[in-house]
Amino acid sequence: MSSPSSSSTPSPYPAPHPTNSLLLAYQVRTRTILLAGGGPVAASRLYHLLCARPKKLVLFAPDNEDIDDEFRWRVEGESEDAKKGREGIEIEWRKQEFDPTQNKEDLALLDGDEIDMVLTAIPNPTLSTKICRLCRARRIPVNVADVPPECDFYFGSVLRRGSLGVMVSTQGKGPRVAARIRRKLERAIPENAGEAIENVGQLRKGLREIEKGTGKEAIERRMGWMIRVSDKWSLAQLGEMDERMRNEVLAGWEKDEARGYWDVNRGKYGGLGWLASFASRLGVGTCPVVKDPDGSAAKCPFVMGSTGFVLGAATAGAVAAFWMRRQ
């Protein structure tokens, strides 16, 4: 048995970073979630819960002037958008305070097997702590808003674009910092990134209809081909993929060809991306758009050389014209 590597030897594997959290995309479509509170924080929690599409939401909040406008709109709004937001989710609004320490019916909810998760966003820290203890005693995951020690999970700052979901978490230490980082990510990710993911999903579906094999070899070949194809398209280009492009890409499967954006759009001329791709087919230089479709085509050697030649020729022409006028 080999001895552990000494501290001076570089580790071949990444070292664990102790964040005390396991970042997951938790599926709740078969779950029932209890939310206590009806203020702005509860409204924010409600929005995220509606995005997650749980089976049922049990809401506890007195129906009074303290109810947040967004909370009420999401639960009772009659507009098309409000109804669509809660479509398919059973919502039960019990218009009273949730207090399992005083109300036997509330305690029975926790003792039963219906509630899978509890969130509190109420202006009563003492009651929140008691709810937290009751939930943990029953092994029900609980989140007490703005009290990290009483949270079994955190709500991060989330970026959503269609099927794309990116969460930035500071483990409850700096929500405002998380929001700033999320905004930076928003600027870096193409607007049609959600469409890109949907289109890749359609491409995978189409491939499975062509190659229906369930054996290890068939699965590995499908995965390998999808990786090669995806690596030839930028995120923005994947967002543009329509049915025609998808069919042309799938047509390369039998020939084991991974077709990129410009391979199925030969009729589109112009732009640095096309020029760099054209150069790569000629074997002129190594272009970033070949190695990294999201890279800058302006750094392609052929593009840089061609640009330099054009600028040089234009400069020489301007100097010659100026000299001719002086004669």
Catalytic residue IDs: 146
CA angle, 206 then 210 then 212, to 5° = 105
- Asked if 120 and 36 touch (Cβ cutoff 8 Å), the reply is yes
CA distances to 35, 221, 251, 252 from 39, rounded to whole Å, are 11, 52, 54, 55
User: DSSP letter string over 289-320?
Assistant: HHH-TTS-GGG-HHHHHHHHHHHHHHHHHHHH
In angstroms, the CA 283 to CA 27 distance is 47
Interstrand relation of 56-60 and 32-36 (parallel, antiparallel or unpaired): parallel
- How far apart are the C-alpha atoms of 54 and 73, rounded to whole Å? 18
State the Cα–Cα distance between residues 81 and 316, nearest whole angstrom: 62
Contact 232, 261 (CB under 8 A): yes
How far apart are the C-alpha atoms of 96 and 103, rounded to whole Å? 11
Q: How far apart are CA 201 and CA 207, in angstroms?
A: 10
Q: How far apart are CA 50 and CA 89, in angstroms?
A: 8
| Pair of tokens at residue 148 | 């990290």
- Consecutive H or E run containing 200: helix 193-210
